Structure formats: C-alpha cells, structure tokens
Amino acid sequence: LALAAGLPLSVLAQQKKIVLGFSQIGAESEWRTANTESIKQAAKDAGIELKFSDAQQKQENQIKAIRSFIAQKVDVIAFSPVVESGWGTVLREAKAAKIPVILTDRAVNEKDDSLWVTFMGSDFLEEGRKAGRWLVDNVKGGEVNIVELQGTVGSAPAIDRKKGFEEVIKGKPQYKIVRSQTGDFTRAKGKEVMQAFLKADPKKINVLYAHNDDMAIGAIQAIEEAGLKPGQDIKIVSIDAVKGAFEAMMAGKLNVSVECSPLLGPQLMKAVQDVVAGKTVPKRIVTEETVFPMESAAKEFPKRKY
Ligand code: AHR
C-alpha cells in the first residue's frame, strides 16, 4: 500500500524499522573515527535502527557484542573484525539463529564462506603493492634501507599490506626491510616504535613504510625530535589518505599516501536493506581507491571528506 502511495524507501523503513547490530573495532585511528561517523550517519539517513558497540580493540568484546546482537534478535549483524582468525564459533551461532552477517572493512580467515553474506571493503593486498610500486618508481639508486611499522598483529590489513609490499620489492636486492614491528595502527605506538628504530640505526634508515597514516604521523614526530627531516632524510610511504596525511604531505613531511576509504556507511546500509528484502548481494564488494603523492596534496585537500 505504501509503495502504491509512492512513499520513499526511508519512510517505508521507518514503518518497520530494520535493526542492525554493528560491532566496531575501536577508535584507534583517524580512519576508524571517519568510518564510525559514516556508519552512524548512513544508518540515520536510511532510517535503520543501529545498535553500535565499540570493542576497544579486543576480539573478546566483539564476540560478546555479536552474541548480544543474536540474543536481541537483530535483523542483520555487521562487524569489522579486529583480527582475521577465531570467528568460526560465533559466526556459526549467528547462522544457526538465521541472522545474516555482513563483514565490513576487514576479512575473516574462515573456510566456510556461507557464514557471511558479503564482505565489503578495500583490497589491502593491492594497497601494499601500490605502496611498493611508488617506492621502486620514486626512490632509486644505491641501497634503500626500509623500516616498517605494521598494523595490529593478526589483522587483515597488517598481513596483506606487508605481503603486497614485499611482493613488489622481491627480487630487487637494493630494497631491504631492515626492521619491522607493530605500531598497532596508533599515533602513540607509531612514534614509540620509530624512536626505537632510530635509536638502533640512526643513519641507516632511508625509508619508512607505515601501514597507516596515524603511525606515519606519530613517526614523523619521532624523526623530527631526532633532528632529521621527514620526507627528505627519510622518505615516508603510508596508507589511508586521511586529512592528517594531506596536512603532512603539504608540509613536505610525508611523501605519499595510498588511499583506503572508510566511507563504507551508505554501501553497508544498502546491503542491509537488500539482504532484508531477500535480494542477492555480491559476495565481495571492493572499494575503488587511488594513490596520492605529496605533489597532488594541495590540489586534492579541499575535496577530502575524511
Ligand atoms: O582496516 C583499515 C585500517 O584500520 C586502516 O588503515 C587503519 O587506519 C585502521 O585503523
């Protein structure tokens, strides 16, 4: 009747509100904050009731939240898994309760892909390759000693960004990863670990590869405090392309940021509505992204949404 009356979809949704339970990883980075905002805003715009839970970086909290969504009989569960493994049991519980699950941003390492309806987010392996390609195309001549700040141990982006980058420098002996450690995707840890790297090898570091911008920004502080020029003495390659990275690029302190978009909210709500309506959604939805070298930063900055 409502359709016949030509009512918009959002009005229809309000008549029988869809309930979505979403378990977010935490608030470790500028990227994550933008991702949370995008999801909250998109739920509002779509008239979807959002039960939002912040896991503070802990898998056990995400599992608890998912179990609570199952107990509350929400219509759809979505989550961004902090690490790749250890989800089988809780995903089987959701399946047994006939609640569809959507993975956003990060993947899980489970063989049975009937445990989720779709996985939407970036291609982290390709992001790692893009970072590697920028490096080999732009930093040449002599030995290139690289230090790597990895993301959260066991997380899909940390695993894939490392792998993709290594794939590109493999067989090019001048590019050497001399140190690699986790900075847990945070500024504070990025700074702390970079300080340790600099203390261990103050002269030998030519390049920093950071798995996200926040760690790169933290590391920039450490490099400056050590009396070196970030972006010049040490070239810096990172991932996300958040506003903070653009500011660093415009200041000449960060050389390139590979884009990883956190703006998954509208796509997620559309998938939730489709799943509830019984429509088929693609099993994998890949976000389209690009690369921003520092030379493009000033022009692009006014257009950035996160
Ligand atoms: O999963 C995406 C990654 O998680 C982003 O690159 C990082 O900034 C975030 O914390």
Residue 225's alpha-carbon distances to 28, 91, 219, in angstroms, are: 23, 46, 10
Ligand 1 neighbourhood includes 189 CB (under 6 angstroms): no
With the most atoms of ligand 1 within 8 angstroms of its CB, the residue from 28, 32, 126, 159 to mutate is: 32
**Which pLDDT score, from 0 to 100, does residue 1 have?**
44
Rounded-to-10 torsion of CA 209, 213, 164, 123: -170
Rounded to whole angstroms, the Cα distance separating 182 from 153 reads 7
Ligand 1 neighbourhood includes 239 CB (under 6 angstroms): yes
Atom of ligand 1 nearest to the CA of 30: 8
**Which pLDDT score, from 0 to 100, does residue 245 have?**
98
Ligand 1 neighbourhood includes 161 CB (under 6 angstroms): no
With the most atoms of ligand 1 within 8 angstroms of its CB, the residue from 37, 82, 238, 240 to mutate is: 240
Ligand 1 centroid to residue 253 C-alpha, Å? 21
Six-digit token string for 128: 């790692």
| Antiparallel, parallel or unpaired: β 101-104 and 118-121 | parallel
Is-contact 214 256, C-beta < 8 A?
no
Q: Which residue puts its alpha carbon closest to atom 3 of ligand 1?
A: 157
CA-nearest of 207, 206, 211 to 238 is: 211
Q: Which helix (H) or strand (E) segment is 124 a member of?
A: helix 124-138
Ligand 1 centroid to residue 303 C-alpha, Å? 21
Rounded to whole angstroms, the Cα distance separating 59 from 155 reads 11
Where does residue 134 rank: exposed (0-12), middle (13-18), buried (19+ CB within 10 A)? Answer: buried
Q: Model ipTM?
A: 0.99
Six-digit token string for 281: 């959604």
With the most atoms of ligand 1 within 8 angstroms of its CB, the residue from 83, 185, 239 to mutate is: 185
Atom of ligand 1 nearest to the CA of 106: 1
Ligand 1 centroid to residue 9 C-alpha, Å? 32
306 residues of the chain, pLDDT tens digit each: 445 556 565 555 556 899 999 999 999 999 999 999 999 999 999 999 999 999 999 999 999 999 999 999 999 999 999 999 999 999 999 999 999 999 999 999 999 999 999 999 999 999 999 999 999 999 998 999 999 999 999 999 999 999 999 999 999 999 999 999 999 999 999 999 999 999 998 679 999 999 999 999 999 999 999 999 999 999 999 999 999 999 999 999 999 999 999 999 999 999 999 999 999 999 999 999 999 999 999 999 999 999
Ligand 1 neighbourhood includes 106 CB (under 6 angstroms): yes
Cβ neighbours of residue 59 closer than 8 Å, sequence gap 6 or more: 81, 82, 83, 86
| Antiparallel, parallel or unpaired: β 256-259 and 291-293 | antiparallel
Is-contact 300 246, C-beta < 8 A?
yes
**Which pLDDT score, from 0 to 100, does residue 203 have?**
72
